[in-house]
């Protein structure tokens, strides 16, 4: 019941949701679940110690600490730059294009995530001509952003045109790949 409050205290809600929007909680009770998983691990460690030494162990779990484990990028960014990260929606600073687009059909969506040259080139080879127009120059990688000229947001908007006309199964045939 209090997972919602813990997510807010840990800072998770400040980076979840659309940029400029109100803070959002994760779709599941993530700190409740994580605290339970950490507690199970601690119990196993305590049982192991008891088997080895005969001594019991004191276990103390904090939901806020468990929730902080989901913030490595945000915490690192703050510690490195002093900047408080905000919500980014589906944007990812290490991948582009990166987002969820509506596909043809009812209630169908496609998630696009591209990291690096090989994935970007493959995507540009397989999407139809309307989307390939954004990929007329070589796929480029610059620090922290991979993009298909003229930039990640333009590429995603061009892919959106394709997404509206392709079904989710058409996207799946070309886009479900392992790195």
Burial classification of residue 160, based on how many CB atoms lie within 10 Å of its CB (0-12 exposed, 13-18 middle, 19 or more buried): middle
d(CA 21, CA 16): 9
Tokens for 22? 């109100």
32 is catalytic: yes
Q: Which long-range contacts (CB under 8 A, 24 or more apart) does 124-132 make?
A: 124/148, 126/174, 126/175, 127/159, 127/162, 127/174, 128/162, 128/165, 128/166, 130/158, 130/161, 130/162, 130/165, 131/158, 131/159, 131/161, 131/162
d(CA 98, CA 119): 12
Instruction: State the catalytic residue, choosing from 3, 32, 60, 92.
Output: 32
Burial classification of residue 167, based on how many CB atoms lie within 10 Å of its CB (0-12 exposed, 13-18 middle, 19 or more buried): middle
Catalytic positions are: 32
């Amino acid at each position: 019941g209090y997972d919602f409050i813990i997510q807010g205290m840990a800072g998770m809600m400040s980076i979840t949701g659309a940029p400029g929007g109100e803070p959002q909680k994760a779709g599941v009770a993530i700190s409740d679940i994580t605290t339970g998983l950490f507690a199970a691990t601690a119990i196993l460690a305590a049982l192991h110690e008891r088997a080895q030494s005969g001594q019991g162990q004191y276990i103390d779990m904090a939901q806020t600490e468990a929730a902080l484990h989901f913030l490595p990028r945000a915490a690192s960014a703050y510690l490195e730059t002093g900047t408080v990260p905000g919500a980014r929606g589906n944007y990812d600073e290490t991948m582009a294009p990166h987002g969820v687009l509506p596909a043809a059909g009812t209630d169908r969506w496609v998630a696009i995530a591209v990291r690096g040259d090989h994935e970007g080139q493959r995507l540009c080879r397989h999407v139809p001509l309307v989307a390939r127009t954004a990929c007329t120059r070589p796929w480029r990688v610059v620090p922290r952003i991979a993009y298909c000229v003229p930039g990640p947001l333009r590429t995603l908007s061009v892919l959106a045109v394709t997404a509206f006309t392709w079904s989710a199964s058409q996207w799946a045939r070309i886009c479900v790949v392992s790195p």
